[in-house]
Amino acid sequence: MKKITLSATLAAGLAIFAGSASAQVDLDAVLNVEGMDITTRAPAADFLDIDEVISGWVYRTKETQALQMDDFENPGMIFVDIAMDDWNTVDGSEGKSCASCHTDGPAEFAGLRAEMPRWNEEKGSLFNMEDYINLMRVEYMGAEPLKWAKPRMDAMVALISLQSRGDTINVAIDGPVSDIWEQGQELYFTRVGQLDMSCANCHEDSYGLMIRADRLSQGQSNGFPTYRLKNAKLNSIQARFKGCMSNIRAEPYAIGSEEFRALELYVASRGNGLSVEGPSVRN
Amino acid sequence: MAEDSKPRVRVPRSATAGEAFEVKTLISHKMESGQRKDADGNNIPRSIINHFSCDFNGENVMQVTLHGAISTNPYFQFEAVIQESGTFTFTWNDDNGSVYTDSKDITVG
Amino acid sequence: MQLTRRDTLIMGAGVAAVTLLPLPSLAGAWEDAIAAFTEGGEIMDGGIELTAPEIAENGNTVPISVSAPGAVAIAVFAEGNPNPDVVEFQFGPLAGAQSGSTRCRLAGTQNLHAYAKMPDGSIGHTVVSVKVTIGGCGG
């Protein structure tokens, strides 16, 4: 595993500063959503070079944090409502809705988000939530697959993710996914783009510091899909990867590409021990 | 956009006569401010929810005039006080003439 | 026309100066907006509270709350926005308090003003400064 120094990052031109006194991080802030305590700090997995994994929620201002602590304040929940309508809407050649088969409602998927992405034995490939949703739509409903990183898909991912809120992220990295996981790890530490930066430069070497006017987090994916104040909509994990790559002036991989699938697996596994938060609220 | 605007409201199921309680509303709407330009440099015309009203049994609780500076997915929180059981009605008026409504029953015990 | 390095620097400085001044660029629009609400009522400091974050993490969604006991209406104006109008709350007979919260857009670091209209037509006023952070990756 490559280690890259912070000074090299500074030289790359994206300035990272120690935080100003006016906006200190409160590592002991407690995330309680609708009476449920959510784990925002946990011991890091053995394969990581950091001691502790920390949810991105911890690094936001108290106003942004508050938006996630009440399901009514959380604007991401509006899209969960919209997805619930979609859940009950018949679509495709088979005349079925999600509800036609899943008679116990989205709650049938409690726990699923905590293991995503994971190996689908039957299909012989790595599956994330979007893959499962489209598999159901195409094979059982006879409906068109939903486009990834678009509002309808992101809302459905949020609805399914919500069923696992508070569950401990437990993504498998061995067995059939081990090669993909290795590829994801390689990508995480590979410098790309005009600013010549890797994921690790910010999210492993510099979390907690300021990047211009923003507080860097560990770039954990446990809160996705995330309602961002910046674009006032739900954002998928891979759409966020694309945004990060654009920020470092790299040519982003395509959403749904082999690279982003591998990276999603690796990044998800870095959050093992944290809680599912989706839909979370970030800046 | 009209078909995508989905309201959410939170009102307690029951209240005590004469005691104020909290009401929260949220509606999905892009709230295009009229200040943005498209890729060709043309102004994107304003398209917002410009008015919100909360009423109870035909009497007004609060009205809000919204401008382009109100964030996407407009949120309001305010307080109401009632004397008898009845129905809250919530009305959002869109620049395009659409009207979105929601209602909630409440019992005064 | 060929731009020298010096010309470019001067032009850049001009742009920077304009960008850094959070003053209402259209003073007329600002006064008109306030006057439309106050309707000539006597303006006094106080009688109204405006709560906003000292530092807003994103100018797109800034939570604000206003409260003015006894007011018939409260309006909020943003000094540094292209259009100063933000929101106006009008309280009906069933309002449990003369208060309200919403989320607004701020174009940059600036002052937010809140005015409360009292039943006698007089106006309460307060101002709060909000720093808006711009230029980050979003965590």
Within a domain: A2: no
Within a domain: B64: yes
Residues from chain A that touch C136, judged by Cβ atoms under 8 A, are 211-214, 283
Within a domain: C103: yes
Give the mean pLDDT of A153-159. Answer: 98
Within a domain: C85: yes
- Note whether A248 and A270 are same-domain residues: yes
Q: Which pLDDT does position A213 carry in this prediction? A: 79
Number of residues that make up chain A: 283
- Note whether A56 and A127 are same-domain residues: no
| Residue A140, domain extent | 77-162
Within a domain: B1: no
Q: Chain B: nearest CA to A172, how far in angstroms?
A: 37
ipTM metric: 0.93
B28 touching chain A per CB within 8 A: yes
Residues from chain C that touch B80, judged by Cβ atoms under 8 A, are 94-96
Q: Which pLDDT does position C25 carry in this prediction? A: 52
Tell me the C-alpha distance between C116 and C71, whole Å: 6
Q: Chain A: nearest CA to B103, how far in angstroms?
A: 16
Provide the residue type at A267 as one letter: V
Given A137, A162, A187, the domain boundary residue is A162
Residues from chain C that touch A64, judged by Cβ atoms under 8 A, are 57-58
pLDDT in tens, A39-95: 999 999 999 999 999 999 999 999 999 999 999 999 999 999 999 999 999 999 999
Given A162, A193, A215, the domain boundary residue is A162
Contact between chains at A73 and B75 (C-beta distance less than 8 A):
yes
The per-residue pLDDT of chain B, averaged, comes to 94
| Residue C70, domain extent | 25-132
Confidence of residue C3 (pLDDT cuts 50, 70, 90): very low
- Note whether A96 and A204 are same-domain residues: no
Within a domain: A99: yes
Q: Which pLDDT does position B50 carry in this prediction? A: 97
- Record the tokens describing residue C41, joined without a space: 């009522």
Residues from chain B that touch C62, judged by Cβ atoms under 8 A, are 71
Residues from chain B that touch A67, judged by Cβ atoms under 8 A, are none
| Residue B87, domain extent | 7-108
Within a domain: C62: yes
Between the alpha carbon of residue A153 and those of residues A85, A150, B27, B39, C126, the distances in Å are 13, 6, 20, 26, 44
The per-residue pLDDT of chain C, averaged, comes to 85
- Note whether A107 and A156 are same-domain residues: yes
- Note whether A187 and A58 are same-domain residues: yes
pLDDT in tens, A232-256: 999 999 999 999 999 999 999 999 9
Between the alpha carbon of residue A123 and those of residues A112, A118, A135, A142, the distances in Å are 17, 11, 10, 18
Within a domain: C8: no
- Note whether A173 and A216 are same-domain residues: yes
What percentage of chain C reaches a pLDDT higher than 90? 72
C57 touching chain A per CB within 8 A: yes
Contact between chains at A78 and B71 (C-beta distance less than 8 A):
no
Q: Chain B: nearest CA to A7, how far in angstroms?
A: 37
Non-local CB neighbours of A270 within 8 Å, separated by 6+ positions: A44, A45, A48, A53, A218, A220
CATH number of domain containing B58: 2.60.40.10
Within a domain: C111: yes
Within a domain: B94: yes
Binding partners of A (≥3 Cβ pairs within 8 A): B, C
CATH number of domain containing A156: 1.10.760.10
**Could you give the number of structural domains in chain B?**
1
Within a domain: A3: no
- Note whether A227 and A152 are same-domain residues: no
- Note whether A173 and A277 are same-domain residues: yes
Q: Chain C: nearest CA to B98, how far in angstroms?
A: 20
B37 strand-pairing partners? B43
pLDDT in tens, A264-277: 999 999 999 999 99
- Note whether A186 and A272 are same-domain residues: yes
Number of residues that make up chain C: 139
Contact between chains at B59 and C93 (C-beta distance less than 8 A):
yes
Answer whether residue C9 shows pLDDT above 50.
Answer: no
Sign of the torsion formed by the C-alpha atoms of B70, B75, B76 and B77: negative
Concatenate the DSSP letters of all residues of A95-127 into one string: TB-HHHH-TT-GGGGTTTGGG-SEEETTTTEEE
Q: Which pLDDT does position B95 carry in this prediction? A: 95
A246 touching chain C per CB within 8 A: no
Confidence of residue B25 (pLDDT cuts 50, 70, 90): very high
**Could you give the number of structural domains in chain C?**
1
Within a domain: B76: yes
> Chain C residue closest to B19 (CA)?
C96
Nearest to B67 among C62, C85, C103 (CB): C85
The per-residue pLDDT of chain A, averaged, comes to 92
Cβ atoms of A214 and C138 within 8 Å: the answer is yes
B56 touching chain C per CB within 8 A: yes
Within a domain: C15: no
Within a domain: A1: no
A283 touching chain C per CB within 8 A: yes
Give the mean pLDDT of A143-172. Answer: 97
pLDDT in tens, B28-59: 999 999 888 888 889 999 999 999 999 999 99
pLDDT in tens, C15-63: 444 444 445 456 788 999 999 999 999 999 999 999 999 999 899 999 9
CATH number of domain containing C51: 2.60.40.2470
Given A112, A142, A162, the domain boundary residue is A162
Question: Which residues of A lie inside 8 Å of B (Cβ-Cβ)?
Answer: 72-73, 75, 77-79, 81-82, 85, 232-233
**Could you give the number of structural domains in chain A?**
2
Tell me the C-alpha distance between A221 and A165, whole Å: 13
Answer whether residue C6 shows pLDDT above 70.
Answer: no
A155 strand-pairing partners? none
> Chain A residue closest to C132 (CA)?
A213
Within a domain: B2: no
- Note whether A189 and A267 are same-domain residues: yes
Give the mean pLDDT of C86-106. Answer: 97
Residues from chain C that touch A214, judged by Cβ atoms under 8 A, are 57, 133, 135-139
- Note whether A63 and A189 are same-domain residues: yes
Question: Which residues of C lie inside 8 Å of B (Cβ-Cβ)?
Answer: 60-62, 65, 78, 81-83, 85-97, 99-106
Answer whether residue C7 shows pLDDT above 80.
Answer: no
Binding partners of C (≥3 Cβ pairs within 8 A): A, B
What pTM was estimated for this model as a whole? 0.88
Answer whether residue C134 shows pLDDT above 80.
Answer: no
